[in-house]
């Protein structure tokens, strides 16, 4: 990220889309303090699928569908209801996965 900052104008505001790589999550705010970042839903879905390995494929896909519903929902109350549903369906594995994702960005 430091090398990248040497070739672009760091006075501008950028938007970064990340897959929740810890190194990037720490370096973006440090190097580009006025910029914003978000998560790539496709990467998050793949990472969640990995976390749900050894689970029956139909159950796994249902959990992924609920996760996507949460991601696309704009109403906070509905997000909270769907997140609760996601946690019930996905159990400890989903809870652990979600605990690795910062909701501040």
Please report where in the chains the tokens 């769907």 appear, as a residue. Answer: 82
* Mean of all residue pLDDT scores within the chain: 84
- CB of 19 within 8 A of CB of 47? yes
Domain shared by 92 and 50, yes or no? yes
Look up residue 99 and give its two tokens.
């605990």
Same domain, 92 and 68: yes
End-to-end CA distance of the chain: 18
33 located within any domain = yes
- pLDDT by position in tens, the chain (length 105): 667 777 778 777 777 666 656 666 677 777 777 777 777 888 899 999 999 998 999 999 999 999 999 999 989 999 999 999 999 999 999 999 998 876 654
CB burial of residue 68 (10 Å; 0-12, 13-18, 19+): middle
Query: Residues 28, 55: one domain?
Result: no
d(Cα 77, Cα 34) in Å, to the nearest integer?
29
- Kindly report the pTM of this predicted structure: 0.71
Q: pLDDT by residue (tens digit) across 69-98?
A: 999 998 999 999 999 999 999 999 999 999
State the residue range of the domain holding 28. 2-38
Shared domain for 26 and 12, answered yes or no, is yes
Q: Which of 101, 100, 95 is nearest to 83 (CA)?
A: 95
């Amino acid at each position: 990220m430091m090398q990248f900052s040497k070739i672009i104008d760091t006075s501008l505001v950028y938007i970064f889309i990340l897959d929740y790589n810890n190194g990037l999550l720490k370096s973006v705010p440090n190097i580009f303090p006025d910029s914003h970042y978000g998560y790539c839903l496709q990467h998050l879905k793949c990472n969640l699928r990995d976390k749900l390995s050894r689970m029956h494929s139909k159950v796994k896909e249902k959990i992924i569908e609920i996760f996507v519903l949460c991601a696309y929902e704009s109403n906070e109350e509905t997000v909270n209801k769907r997140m609760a549903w996601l946690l019930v369906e996905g159990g400890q594995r989903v809870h652990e996965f979600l605990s690795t994702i910062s909701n501040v960005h």
